Amino acid sequence: MIFVKEGVLEVGFLDTQNKLFQKALKEGDVFVIPKGLFHFFLNRGVEVTTVFSVFNSQNPGLGSPTATPSSESVEKIKRKLISLSESEVDSVDDLSLAVSEIIYS
């Protein structure tokens, strides 16, 4: 679970069927991410965002780098987050750089 103390945050996760769930959060919003699913956060504003995260147990588990989403899922997230065409997405190597260029340009 995350709580947004200040700022604007784009948050999302992929379920076990690779369906994307995504929401824009603002101050005071809470969002629950099911345990073990691929998830992401993106500061959608130009100011600092402060977020508190809470795990549901004393042992939150271990995330394995081999448990990565399919490349199709990642491409879907890229397109949705930064509204690029398929050909433009193919040329993006660093998603954080592409997003910051769009937000700050």
Domain spans, the chain: 2-57+68-104
Per-residue pLDDT at 5: 93
Per-residue pLDDT at 45: 77
d(CA 46, CA 43): 8
**What are the distances in angstroms from CA 37 to CA 6, 33, 69, 73?**
25, 7, 9, 12
Please indicate, yes or no, whether the overall pTM of this predicted structure exceeds 0.85.
no
Condensed to tens digits (0 to 9), the pLDDT of residues 3-20 reads 999 998 888 888 888 788
| 27 annotated as belonging to a binding site for a ligand | no
Q: Which residues of the chain have pLDDT under 70?
A: 57-74, 77-105
